[in-house]
Amino acid sequence: MSLLNWQQDDAVLTVQVAGDVADIVDITVPESLRRQGVATHLLQQAMAELVQQSVKELFLEVRTSNTPAIGLYQKLGAIHVGHRPTYYTNPTEDADVYKITL
């Protein structure tokens, strides 16, 4: 198992890889960089590199209220595959689970 990081300016994407499956651990984009394609660029870069490493599936959890992120993931081919009640804290919120087939 390994952790991989991609960075652009102050935005960071961290992915955990185990065999041919990867999970987005965290994606952080400062508010000043949002809606500028930074997250899209990081995710596309990561997905291309993961394909080179023979990763077949990329999973992620996202707050159910985070509609901008959900839209981004869906634009990149993510499909809804599950739901995790009370997954997040501060504030408590459910998570939806998505999968991107690479």
pTM above 0.85, yes or no: yes
Pairing outcome for strands 57-63 and 21-28: parallel
Choosing from 31, 73, 87, 98, which is the catalytic residue?
73
Whether residue 31 lies in the annotated active site: no
**What confidence tens digit (pLDDT) does each residue in 4-22 have?**
999 998 999 999 999 999 9
Angle of the 38-52 helix axis to the 67-75 helix axis, nearest 10: 40
Instruction: Write out the residue range of the structural domain in which residue 90 sits.
Output: 2-101
CATH assignment of the domain containing 48: 3.40.630.30
**What confidence tens digit (pLDDT) does each residue in 45-77 have?**
999 999 999 999 999 999 999 999 999 999 999
Record the tokens describing residue 62, joined without a space. 């996202």
pLDDT band at 33 (very low <50, low <70, confident <90, very high): confident
How many domains does the structure of the chain reveal? Answer: 1
Helix H or strand E encompassing 99: strand 93-101
> Could you count the other beta carbons within 10 Å of the beta carbon of residue 96?
21
Distance CA 102, CA 100 (A): 6
